[in-house]
């Protein structure tokens, strides 16, 4: 039997937020077999963590969505840290620190237990990178690829590629119903992003502080995107929509029926964003086991 934990991330109670499967110290599996497990469970993302011998709080982690392995992802790391916190038997209110070694680098998470089955976690994503695009970011073309008109975009904010491990094209839209109308319509949206130098896109209403993100085929919409949330924090500070150290609440998931809240904070100045943090609650839903591995 190979056990796993089912948790909801960026959630204050079960059956809200972004669901996640967490495997702790599973048997060795090649990437192809891990992906088959992920596709069988059908969570948006799944994380496999291996605790390091003789190094308390240090884990190696691999993250997959339904299509491929990811270099970095925020909600799986936060969810896994919460599972490790509960497995460690931490006392109520006790804070623990965790170091995750991922393909994109090393990140740190702090956790504390609020009540049985509910943990809060804060992920330090480090210094963001503002990526120089490979091709011009043409506002009309980007808007059209998302079923929008150019005047649906926020005239006061630029298109910009930001990364804390994954490269997101941030697309700020005007208030009103532009966020609701957005959806991927380009048949090769992933190719469009690749030519620009981005991997994914995040549509943001900067006034409401609410966003949306999809897989690049446009079929699946994410409930709450932790990796993008750090990029949003950096973007808002860089363009004068947030202050140094100010915690903002980023909404996501309204259009999936699972509204979520992500706490985001950027530190530094508009000209020098030094680091960003992303946090939220994690609710324990249950545990399961696989009798057979692929």
The two structure tokens encoding residue 200 = 């994914």
Beta bridge partners of 75: none
Round to whole Å and give the CA distance between 216 and 66. 12
Last residue of one domain, picked from the residues 103, 127, 151: 127
Round to whole Å and give the CA distance between 140 and 171. 12
Round to whole Å and give the CA distance between 81 and 214. 25
Same domain for 141 and 93: no
pLDDT for the residue numbered 93: 87
| CATH number of the domain where residue 32 is located | 3.10.310.10
Mean pLDDT rounded to a whole number for the chain: 95
Identify the segments of the chain with pLDDT beneath 70. none
Same domain for 68 and 34: yes
Residue 235 lies in a domain: yes
Domain that holds residue 6: 2-127
Same domain for 234 and 154: yes
Same domain for 119 and 56: yes
| Owner of token pair 């949206």 | 189
């Amino acid at each position: 039997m190979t056990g796993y934990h089912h948790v909801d991330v960026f959630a204050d109670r079960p059956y809200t937020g972004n669901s996640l499967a967490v495997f702790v110290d599973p048997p060795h599996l090649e990437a192809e077999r891990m992906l088959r497990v992920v596709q069988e469970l059908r969570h948006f993302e799944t994380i496999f963590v291996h605790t390091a011998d003789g190094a308390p709080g240090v884990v190696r982690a691999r993250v997959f969505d339904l299509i491929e392995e990811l270099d970095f992802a925020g909600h799986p790391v936060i969810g896994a840290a919460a599972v490790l916190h509960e497995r460690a038997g931490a006392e109520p209110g006790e804070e623990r620190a965790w170091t995750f070694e991922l393909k994109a680098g090393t990140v740190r998470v702090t956790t504390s237990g609020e009540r049985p089955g509910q943990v809060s976690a804060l992920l330090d994503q480090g210094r963001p990178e503002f990526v120089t695009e490979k091709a011009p970011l043409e506002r009309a073309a980007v808007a059209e690829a998302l079923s929008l008109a150019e005047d649906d975009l926020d005239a006061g904010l630029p298109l910009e590629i930001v990364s804390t491990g994954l490269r997101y094209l941030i697309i700020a839209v005007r208030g009103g119903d532009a966020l609701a109308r957005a959806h991927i319509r380009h048949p090769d949206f992933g190719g469009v992003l690749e030519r620009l130098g981005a991997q994914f896109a995040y549509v943001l209403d900067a006034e409401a502080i609410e966003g949306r993100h999809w897989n690049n085929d446009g079929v699946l919409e994410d409930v709450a995107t932790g990796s993008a949330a750090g990029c949003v924090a950096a973007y808002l500070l860089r363009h004068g929509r947030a202050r140094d150290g100010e915690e903002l609440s980023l909404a996501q998931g309204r259009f999936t029926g699972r509204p979520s809240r992500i706490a985001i904070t950027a530190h530094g100045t508009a000209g020098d964003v030094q680091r960003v943090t992303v946090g939220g609650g994690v609710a324990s839903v249950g545990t399961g086991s696989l009798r057979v591995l692929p």
